[in-house]
Amino acid sequence: MLTKDQIVDWLRRSAAVMRDKSSYLSELDAAIGDGDHGINMERGFKKVLEKLETGEQQDISTVFRETGMALISSVGGASGPLYGTFFITVAVKFVGKTQVSTGDIAAAFEAGADALARRGRAREGDKTIVDALMPAVRALEEAADAGESVYNALNKAVQATQRGMEKTIEMTARKGRASYLGERSIGHQDPGASSTYLLLKALYEAAS
């Protein structure tokens, strides 16, 4: 099981990693976008921490909802609405829960990923967040079906996310500013997929 305290720890870890990797993410974004993805993600998760410290979260759903709202209100570009949509959709699945199972996480993350993809009108192969997130969802679902622990499931999800992220290097961008580059976007790793990997890795670390 994954507890509310571990979820909060995940978000604290996420804020730290977005601060530490801000320049890295912005460098990735500079190659095919506006060059501000790292700055935006750092600012967004700083706002998430402020929300968590000033509010009183009764359950995991509240934590996810406040996180989503903070990201939408503070992260510029497409990332804020996309990540915000993911967190807020997941929140609906966790109402009243202070701990969640592998199956709970798989179902909630599937709903969140689907909502994010619809919001961005993106699918796998478009060189976006979706290319990193969907493989993680499938890994979680397979682990849930096999009755695996949250720890093992998240380990497999992180590995799947990393593979998805790395695959974006050879893709042609079809969404957002990067799509204007056409084939010139090939050879560059997608910054959104990269921040997704960092978030999933931080979740795995919090679970362990």
pTM over 0.85: yes
Q: State pLDDT tens for residues 179-203.
A: 888 899 999 999 999 999 999 999 9
How many distinct structural domains can be found in the chain? 1
CB atoms within 10 A of CB 73: 12
Q: State pLDDT tens for residues 38-74.
A: 999 999 999 999 998 887 788 999 999 999 999 999 9
181 touches 32 (CB < 8 A): yes
Backbone angles phi, psi at 2, to 5 degrees: -110, 125
Dihedral angle sign, alpha carbons of residues 90, 93, 95, 99? negative
Q: Is 100 helix (H, G, I), strand (E, B) or coil?
A: strand
Site of tokens 């700083």: 46
pLDDT, averaged across the chain: 96
Q: Quick check: 117 pLDDT over 80?
A: yes
83 touches 71 (CB < 8 A): yes
CATH number at residue 16: 1.25.40.340
pLDDT of residue 199: 98
The whole-angstrom separation of Cα 180 and Cα 98 is 44
